[in-house]
Amino acid sequence: MKTDETLAKAIASPKPFVKWVGGKTQLLPELEKRIPKSFGRYYEPFIGGGALFFRLQPQRACLTDINPDLVNLYTVIRDQVEALIEDLSQHVYEKDYFYQVRGVDRTAEYSTWTDVQQASRFIYLNKTCYNGLYRVNLKGQFNAPFGRYTRPMILDAGNLRACHQALQKAVIEVADFHDVKKRIRADDFVYFDPPYAPLSTTAKFTSYTKKRFDIEMQYELRDLCRALDQRSVRFMLSNSSAPLILDLYSEFNVEFVYATRSINSNTGKRGKIPEVIVTNYEH
């Protein structure tokens, strides 16, 4: 790596600009040590908060997600970060104001908003809603309630500018994960971080979007991994340690890692939960 690149990374180390359910910040050391030493392009088809992308800052990356509001936010940070910073500085942490901003996607006015205004609203709601939860109803309207914080940091201009730098050369698009199959080449590397399969049969599948990521999707993702493997594309995948997942990926390298997660949403109890990292290469 060139010295000026090293310096740029030291000055600005970007972190996820949104709180995201299933964010990978905790597992970064485990993920990082499994990254191949060299590869062509980096693919992340479930980008979410993008923790691994921001840690690695690969030169060439293709970042996609099915959530159009999230993808708009990434695009705005890449292309119009100063306008976003200016717009964000207008927001205030106040309950009535929160519900007013939240309610805009229930009106016709929302479609007249610019990409910057929509991105700014996304960050504002993410930083001030309950638990940073992204939740929409069947009409795609944001419905997480107001959250109690001491002083939520709605605007972190330094981090947004660092993310802007890291995203400069990235391809950012709305896409279903299956799309990766058409785009990827043999020397590329893909990291899959799908919504996790529930550990117990009574737990609900995590819903980030209008369309649920159900068992069938977990099968389709495994089939995609098989197809990539047959084309010698290297992939890494994280998921829960549910019996379904251990069974689906038994032909690949499956390793257990431990993350502190909320284990009971009613009591807020937290504990070390085993998760898995699957790879189709030696590391």
Residues near ligand SAM (CB under 6 A) are 16, 20, 22-24, 45-46, 48-49, 51, 65-67, 70, 176-177, 193-195, 208-209, 213
**Amino acid sitting at position 45:** P
- CB of 191 vs ligand SAM, minimal distance in Å: 8
Task: For ligand SAM, give the closer residue by CB, 19 or 83.
Answer: 19
Encode burial over 131-156: b for 16+ CB neighbours within 10 A, e otherwise: ebbbbbeeeeebebebbeeeeeebbb
CA of 39: how far to CAs of 28, 59, 137, 177, in Å? 19, 10, 39, 20
- CB of 175 vs ligand SAM, minimal distance in Å: 7
Cβ atoms of 247 and 271 within 8 Å: the answer is no
Task: For ligand SAM, give the closer residue by CB, 124 or 191.
Answer: 191
- CB of 220 vs ligand SAM, minimal distance in Å: 9
- CB of 67 vs ligand SAM, minimal distance in Å: 4
Task: For ligand SAM, give the closer residue by CB, 2 or 204.
Answer: 204
- Length of the chain as a residue count: 283
How does strand 61-65 pair with strand 171-174? parallel
Task: For ligand SAM, give the closer residue by CB, 83 or 257.
Answer: 257
Ordered DSSP codes for 45-72: SS-TT-HHHHHH--SSEEEEES-HHHHH
Task: For ligand SAM, give the closer residue by CB, 83 or 171.
Answer: 171
- CB of 86 vs ligand SAM, minimal distance in Å: 26
> Which residues are CB-contacts of 38 (< 8 A; sequence separation ≥ 6)?
none
- CB of 235 vs ligand SAM, minimal distance in Å: 14
Helical ranges in 12-50 per DSSP H = 28-32
Task: For ligand SAM, give the closer residue by CB, 14 or 195.
Answer: 195
CA–CA distance, 161 with 155 (Å, rounded to integer): 11
